[in-house]
Amino acid sequence: MGLKKNVLFTIILDYFKSYLPNMRKSSTTTIRTYQTVLEQYLEYLKDINGVKLYEVNLSMINRKSLAEYLDNLEIERKCSVSTRNHRRSCIRAFLRYAATCNVEAAAIWNEIQVIPKAAVSTKPVEYMTVPAVEAIISQPDTSTRKGLRDSFLLLFLYQTGARVQELVNIRICDLSLDTRNIATLQGKGSKTRCIPMREKLVEHLNNYLRMFHPGVNMYSNDTLFYSVHAHKHTRMTEDNVRKLIKNYGIQARAKEPTMPENVHPHMFRHSIAMHLYQSGVPLPLISQLLGHSRLETTLIYAYADTEQKRKAIESAIPEDSTLKEFLNPERYNIDDDELIKRLYGLK
């Protein structure tokens, strides 16, 4: 089957070039996410069917292949349940659109409805201690060009609480280096938020700009972090960031015992939120820093901190101690009323 005759690719082209940007008004970040998910699913279909990419067609998309792909993500590739559900959601969104364009796709859309969303188990928030953050940020060799960039990138990621996509999308013009020292992040759903930059971060930023953007116009649309390909600057990818963080995490773990085994970009976001909460910063302010659309999302840090304190108290008292019978872990749990008061700034 030639590519021009492949209905699937015609629908894909319309979806990404017309429907998402023009009708849905989706952000470039959202579109890029959908592209990545669909590309990986097509690669999976290509492999299991033993065909070329251009030979993948609508008939290969069905309940069985999609269910097996999602299982493969979780079992073989060790992706989290949240990642599995996110991929399912992205693929469903595409097939929902495809169903409006083609009768065969409509039948596929009806067939996949029975694939359930996987239940997400409640897991403790993964974050780094302050010593762990200091350890990983100190790993890059700042006497080198790459080391200076990486050190600043890690510090920026931590102090702003940026998502990895927000980090790689930030442009020079999104930085206000005046009396305010503000970084404007482009978040989910094209929402923006302004993050104040601390003095130390601004100092590192100026050093970084002098080396990587000498003489730059601060109104430039150039991305702050870039890679060089064929002597041209290109936007740094999310995978670039994940790889360098993973490598520095491995190095830091040899020196800092509290360093988690699998360090990833989002862990910096969790870490700054936990450290601010533990320092007494009100939850509404943390929610604004992180750009949460719902204040309740920020409650995970309150629960995580409370659970940590409970475990610390339990472990501090030996099992054979007479004090054990007087220990009541429940008193260290924050009830819903208490959380609501903290969430909305009443305490």
Q: What is the pLDDT of residues 160-201, one digit of tens each?
A: 999 999 999 999 999 998 878 999 998 776 778 899 999 999
Pair 235, 146 in one domain: yes
* Number of domains observed in the structure of the chain: 3
Pair 72, 158 in one domain: no
Predicted pLDDT at 309: 54
Predicted pLDDT at 334: 45
Torsion-angle region of residue 231: left (phi > 0), alpha (psi -120 to 50) or beta? Answer: left
- What's the Rg (C-alpha) of the chain? 24
Give the chain's count of helices (H) and strands (E): 14, 5
Predicted pLDDT at 43: 93
Q: What is the pLDDT of residues 101-110, one digit of tens each?
A: 999 999 999 9
Average pLDDT across the chain, whole number: 84
Predicted pLDDT at 283: 77
289, part of any domain: no
Predicted pLDDT at 107: 92
Pair 23, 162 in one domain: no
Pair 135, 61 in one domain: no
Whether residue 235 contacts residue 221, with contact meaning beta carbons closer than 8 Å, is answered with no
124, part of any domain: no
Predicted pLDDT at 191: 79
What does the alpha-carbon distance between residue 168 and residue 184 come to, in Å, rounded to a whole number?
13
Predicted pLDDT at 313: 47
284, part of any domain: no
Task: Provide the residue range defining the domain that includes 249.
Answer: 130-278
Pair 255, 158 in one domain: yes
Pair 271, 310 in one domain: no
Query: Which residues does the chain have with pLDDT short of 70?
Result: 1-5, 119-124, 189, 293-300, 302-347
SS3 109: helix
pTM, whole model, 2 decimals?
Answer: 0.61
Predicted pLDDT at 324: 46
Q: How far is CA 214 from CA 79, 200, 204, 211, 236, in A?
A: 40, 20, 14, 6, 18
